[in-house]
Structure 1
């Protein structure tokens, strides 16, 4: 799998779930099945591909209760999502057919599908992306996976337990604070504890949707947000109360999540092998 990944350049389109919910949705195929909708999710570090339990049943992919993955984390008030180890014979992506791989099967995609009001059958995550440089062009809506190294950019670290890409940023000149880069987040999120410490405004209440349900939060705005060599003015965050649990799951302090509103009309490049990241204008 690693050798094949390094030899391939894969390019394919994506779309947003909706203008209001800019989740990155792509098409993948499993075994001989029809193309299905998947979210491209750098924040998912459990399995190369998570497949919905409904889709697994339709494809005849077997899994057992004793193959449940332990210690999973998901945003929301419920316990971690149920994920079971399974195996597929092939995956199709961007016109390429990739060989057999271990995957996960879960019911955690159901609430997300309900929130975006459309089918969602899979989640392509870090353990697949980790051998590539990932280029997401949010303006042209094209994904490129290649072996090309990113020569400039910001260094990032990975959580020791959950492999989140974490970079440092400053809010209103204060910090640095640590943000997990998550293409599966439709908006950036800030720890409520940090928002209160920085005396940020308390805006409208909003639910923060995750794999374990929704967490109560509210919107806030900062005057300046400096991250990855860019300065965002009047940048909006949702807030969440789950960052202690996220930090424990990641094995690293996480103060916020960098989501889609940071990448709007930009090109997000993540060089996983060399652990460098950039956000640039196309």
Structure 2
């Protein structure tokens, strides 16, 4: 149990996966010509993806082995392999080991950098893709998402194609950049800097009124919105916030607060009462990322659209997929739930927020969840549990847990806290 507790405290993340990586000194994007190429005369392809916690997971072949589940993430530049077994399985000639500095708490970690990698998505292949293989899986995306994740693919895929993401249909279509297509939806200018897309837009807060902001478009984070800085100072907090663990960076947990922004403008669309994370301010972030910005736009906003990225032309296209008014809800239990994978997935409680319904109910960190409302937890996915715990204010949930060798049943009453 002591080993499990250390694992939980080190790895669990409560809201999204913030991944800020600085590898440009080793793999400068400006001089790289590698792109994915279709075989033959193919001009486009459509593949299915898995959507978990608003994050896109696609099958990727590495050196013609696989497929492996990779997170498709506009927030990263070089390809990242998080599964440490690749260090033994891959031929890593001419690789170098470096310490990678990131945005979070803790010491720098080591990564093996190599170009001796071929990656394939569908019928599209890229040779010698710059890749970082971490010697320690500090993200632990597999536990966070409930399925085995081997790595993260970002800039080199998006920069090779016009990429259309159908969140409602779980379909990804990618076109050769010279293909003549007319993307659907509102056309919004974006800037690509250090392999990542940025957008200039406007938000409104209770304390600042309407202000212009620059946001990283980060579909690899499940949050709607993160606001980090304003004029190189911490972004002013709204009147009501709760402390929150906002994710994990290269070198540790990122803490902060969760609150709401009154209004977010996105092209011709407006979103109101937007759930927003406010990470603890870190003046080094701009230096590490190579660019100053106010915050990031996450996939809990993007998922309401048919999204088309055209990096070559510098545009983002958004077409609303339904007429419902989005409602953004935070977890109402105060529990972080994660999975240990094996013959049968096992669900555990990690961090519990102080004063939350989970703490008041008597639940404890390291409790194993065995049943929900008298149904075995094996009937649920991690995504199911995540949605259940933010369903609606006042809902009562019966949770059966295993603590050591003893079973306990608790009544958890959800509460909207922000």
TM-score, structure 2 length as denominator?
0.58
Secondary structure at the residue paired with 1:102? Answer: coil
SS in 2 for 1:234: strand
Please state if 1:60 is matched with 2:96: no
What SS does the corresponding residue of 1:253 show, helix, strand or coil? coil
Does the 8 Å contact 1:83/1:104 carry over to 2?
no
* Equivalence for 2:227: 190
Kept after mapping to 1: 8 A contact 2:304/2:320? yes
Instruction: State the alpha-carbon separation in 2 of the partners of residues 206 and 83 from structure 1.
Output: 25
Aligned equivalent of 2:277: 238
Distance in structure 2 (CA, Å) of the matches to 1:55 and 1:203: 38
Alpha-carbon deviation of 1:198? 5.9
| Contact persistence 1:30–1:88 (CA under 8 A) | no
Q: Distance in 1 between matches of 2:282 and 2:198?
A: 13
Instruction: Quote the residue 2:381 is aligned against.
Output: none
In structure 1, list runs of 5 or more residues that go unmatched.
Answer: none
Hey, what does 2:121 align to over in structure 1? Answer: 93
**Paired position in structure 1 for 2:306:** 267
Cα distance in structure 2, aligned partners of 1:229 and 1:264? 16
Deviation at 1:189, TM superposition (A): 1.4
* Structure 1 residue matching 2:272: 3-state secondary structure: strand
Asked if the contact 1:208–1:217 (Cα under 8 Å) also holds between the matched residues in 2, the reply is no
CA drift of 1:226 comes to 0.8
Query: Which stretch shifts more, 56-65 or 117-126?
Result: 56-65
Which of 164, 174, 185 is residue 196 of structure 2 equivalent to? 164
In the TM superposition, what is the alpha-carbon distance from 1:28 to its structure 2 partner?
Answer: 0.7
In structure 2, distance between residues paired with 1:228 and 1:81: 39
Is 1:51 aligned with 2:81?
A: yes
Classify 1:199/1:52 alpha carbon distance in 2 versus 1 (closer, same or farther; 3 Å).
closer
Secondary structure at the counterpart of residue 130 of structure 2: strand
Q: How does 1:113-152 map to 2 (within 5 A)?
A: 113=141, 114-146=143-175, 147=177, 148=179
- The equivalent residue for 1:9 is 44
Q: Between Structure 1 and Structure 2, whose CA radius of gyration is higher?
A: 2
The 3-state SS of whatever aligns with 2:120 is strand
Structure 1 Cα separation of the partners of residues 239 and 162 of structure 2: 35
89 and 158 in structure 1: CA distance in 2 versus 1, 3 angstrom threshold? closer
Partner of 1:221: 260
Q: Deviations 1:101-125 (Å, cap 9, x if unpaired)?
A: 2331322654232333432111111
Measured on the aligned residues, the alpha-carbon RMSD in Å equals 2.8
Q: CA deviation at 1:144?
A: 1.4
Q: Does 1:154 align with 2:192?
A: no
User: 1:127 Cα shift?
Assistant: 2.5
Question: Alpha carbons of 1:81 and 1:280: their partners in 2 closer, same or farther (altered >3 Å)?
Answer: farther
Whether the 8 Å contact between 1:75 and 1:214 is mirrored in structure 2 is no
Aligned equivalents of 2:220 and 2:108: distance in 1? 17
* Contact 2:247-2:254 within 8 A present in 1 as well: yes
Between 1:118-127 and 1:235-244, the stretch displaced more is 235-244
SS of the counterpart of 1:249? helix
Structure 1 residues 128 and 234, CA gap change in structure 2 (3 angstroms): same
Partner residue, 1:281? 320
Higher relative contact order (CA 8 A, sep 6+): 1
Provide the TM-score with structure 1 as the length reference. Answer: 0.83
- Give, in angstroms, the shift of residue 165 of structure 1: 0.9
Superposed displacement of residue 242, structure 1: 5.1
